[in-house]
Structure 1
Amino acid sequence: MTVQDPNVVATAGAESAASSNPRAGQVGLTVRQAGAGATVVGVSGEIDMLTAPQLRAEVLRHLAAGTTLVLDLSGVSFLGSAGLAVLVEAAQHGKRRDAAFRVVAVARAVTRPLAATGLGEVFSVFESVEQALGADEAR
């Protein structure tokens, strides 16, 4: 077993890899407006019991009455049960507020838990942000 000293500075290769991805226990979130009444929240990293509360707060903050929220999980490398619970809560919250909640899922780390639990049928899942935003036009 190897134990790394936390006081040791990472080498250039390891440092550059770490800076592009959130560290363990962190989730990367980006928020952008995608037109009138539509918000896209991009997520990267791992969604587990440590990071799910941060994701929950961000998602619920952007689910307002009559709006569209697209949760882009294409950068997620792990989706645990706490993350799945956030998705279910967001879908329910959106329905109560008459807001559209959509999920973008392409990576196996996300699509597999959605399929295994049947949650892919509970809310709208798309292969790209553009498809998720375009679903408004199909109404």
Structure 2
Amino acid sequence: MKVAENIIESIAVIEVEGNIDSKTAPEFEKAAIAAIKGQGQVIIDLSKVEFLSSAGLRVLLMIYRQIKSQSGKVVLVGVSEDIQDVMSNTGFINFFIIVNTLEEAVETLKKG
């Protein structure tokens, strides 16, 4: 798994590539905590993630709670249908805004 952090128009962007499971979730969590520090808006690009385990869902929830406590928003990009199904079945899908492209995510957060 690879995690890259960027800033686009003062929005934190976390790009993840590979599976997020019990082995890789700690690495994802560590990178995410660093990326969201002091941020009110976060984009998480999951377009290159094929599998997301319960450990990965826990990290997403942690990010959501931290950003929400600052009255911010989290947008997920490129979430596969399988991952959306898992998120829907667990109720996690209700916490996030899901869009198809990075450009849509930036526009969504700029609109407020």
Conserved 8 A contact 1:43-1:71 = yes
Q: Which runs of 5+ in 1 are unaligned?
A: 1-26
* DSSP-derived class of the 1:136 partner: helix
Residue 44 (str. 1) matches residue 36 (str. 2): no
Name the CA distance, whole Å, in 2 between partners of 1:66 and 1:128.
20
Indicate the structure whose relative CO is greater, using CA pairs within 8 Å and at least 6 residues apart: 2
Aligned residues with identical type, % of pairs: 25
Higher deviation after alignment, 70-79 or 127-136: 127-136
* DSSP-derived class of the 1:73 partner: strand
Name the CA distance, whole Å, in 2 between partners of 1:33 and 1:122.
22
Relative to the length of structure 1, the TM-score reads 0.73
- Match for 2:102 among 116, 120, 129? 129
Structure that is richer in helix per residue: 2
Offset at residue 97 of structure 1 (A): 2.7
Residue 61 (str. 1) matches residue 22 (str. 2): no
Alignment of 1:21-36 (within 5 A): 27-35=1-9
Q: Which has the larger radius of gyration?
A: 1
The letter for the 2-side match of 1:136 is L
Q: Which runs of 5+ in 2 are unaligned?
A: none
The aligned length equals: 112
Residues 15-55 of structure 1: CA deviation (Å, up to 9, x unaligned): xxxxxxxxxxxx111222211x2121111111001100111
Alignment match, 2:57:
84
Relative to the length of structure 2, the TM-score reads 0.88
Cα RMSD for the two superposed structures: 1.6
Offset at residue 66 of structure 1 (A): 4.7
